[in-house]
Amino acid sequence: MSASTRGAELKLASIQMVSTAVVSENMATASRLVTAAAHDGAQLVVLPEYFCLMGLKDTDKVKVREVLGSGPIQEQLAIIAKENRVYLVAGSIPLEASDPNKVLNTSLVFNPDGQRVERYDKIHLFGFQTSTERYQESETIEAGDKPGIFEITVNGQKWTFGLSICYDLRFPELYRTLGQVDCHIIPAAFTYTTGKDHWEILLRARAIENQCYVLASAQGGTHQNQRRTWGNTMLIDPWGTILENLPEGEGFISGVLCKDKLNEVRSKLPALAHRKL
């Protein structure tokens, strides 16, 4: 492989967890899996939504919320990124909101020096109710209002990433607002009920319609609070092909972003250039 070819590729990894109600346990698991992914050659690593805490009650996350730029969760994330020399997309952590009884559900991005380079506060808040399940994120989460996007340069090659979280996946207008990116990163904790029917098709649709890679990092198992998450952490290419997938349980997937693949899809079917609205 020539140096020019390597420069047009980026190796990344996406972690799947079955997070517990104990922050220290989850941080240790996250650290171990990021280290394993980095040893496997990943230059960018993604953690799932709620990687640091899947509480016994929805209000548990309010008790551990942090101020942006300060707190043990953020300090440990910076150390993990720096020690492993990776870009780290920390799925979501609870940050201080204007309402003292709520949090912002926030993705933070750290560079290989451990510096925070981007944040994204989840915009769309999940609501779902059946005879056996009820979720209402707006009761404990304050919605964000700004899309998230970041760029990195590796081996002289620039890569652009869009940020979204879980329920955002159902709102294609968010991805259109972000414009053309190389990869959309989507940390999630999809429920088993909705995930089995909608997860894969929505992820592949976002990849196909935006002609970019999609890297999803999921919670995948039954948690201490008896909530079951769908898992299926996956990497999808711009044609909608699933390249890697981890159905359930703790672990990680890895794969490569390729500029040639992006250019091939966008040149043979220039749908983004054909947009009218």
pLDDT tens digits for range 73-123: 999 999 999 999 999 999 999 999 999 999 999 999 999 999 999 999 999
Position 131 pLDDT exceeds 90: no
Report the amino acid identity of residue 13: A
pLDDT tens digit sequence for 169-227: 999 999 999 999 999 999 999 999 999 999 999 999 999 999 999 999 999 999 999 99
| Rounded to 5°, angle at Cα 148 from 143 and 17 | 80
- Distance (Å, rounded) from C-alpha 139 to C-alpha 210? 32
Catalytic one among 9, 49, 118, 137? 49
| pLDDT score for 3 | 44
| pLDDT score for 6 | 54
- The residues that bridge with 157 in the sheet, in sequence order, are 154
| pLDDT score for 258 | 98
153 burial via Cβ count (<10 Å: 0-12, 13-18, 19+)? exposed
Q: How confident is the model at residue 130 (pLDDT cuts 50, 70, 90)?
A: confident
Per the CB < 8 A criterion, the answer to whether 30 and 51 are in contact is: yes
Q: How many CB atoms lie within 10 A of CB 217?
A: 29
Catalytic one among 9, 66, 96, 122? 122
Q: How far is CA 221 from the centre of its chain?
A: 17
pTM: 0.96
| pLDDT score for 7 | 64
Write out the two tokens for 179: 């414009």
| pLDDT score for 153 | 97
Catalytic one among 9, 61, 166, 183? 166
- The arithmetic mean of pLDDT across residues 57-81, rounded, is 97
Q: What is the dihedral of CA 39, 40, 41, 46, to 10 degrees?
A: -90
Position 33 pLDDT exceeds 70: yes
For the chain, domain boundaries: 3-274
Domain 3-274: give its CATH architecture: 4-Layer Sandwich (3.60)
- Provide the 3-class DSSP secondary structure of residue 80: helix
First-residue to last-residue Cα distance in the chain? 42
| pLDDT score for 133 | 84
Find, among 188, 137, 180, the residue nearest to 159 by Cα: 180
Position 4 pLDDT exceeds 50: no
The verdict on whether 49 is a catalytic residue reads: yes
Q: How confident is the model at residue 2 (pLDDT cuts 50, 70, 90)?
A: very low
- Distance (Å, rounded) from C-alpha 169 to C-alpha 17? 19
CA dihedral for 28, 33, 36, 37, sign (positive or negative): negative
Task: Tell me what percent of the residues of the chain surpass a pLDDT of 90.
Answer: 95
pLDDT tens digit sequence for 136-181: 999 999 999 999 999 999 999 999 999 999 999 999 999 999 999 9
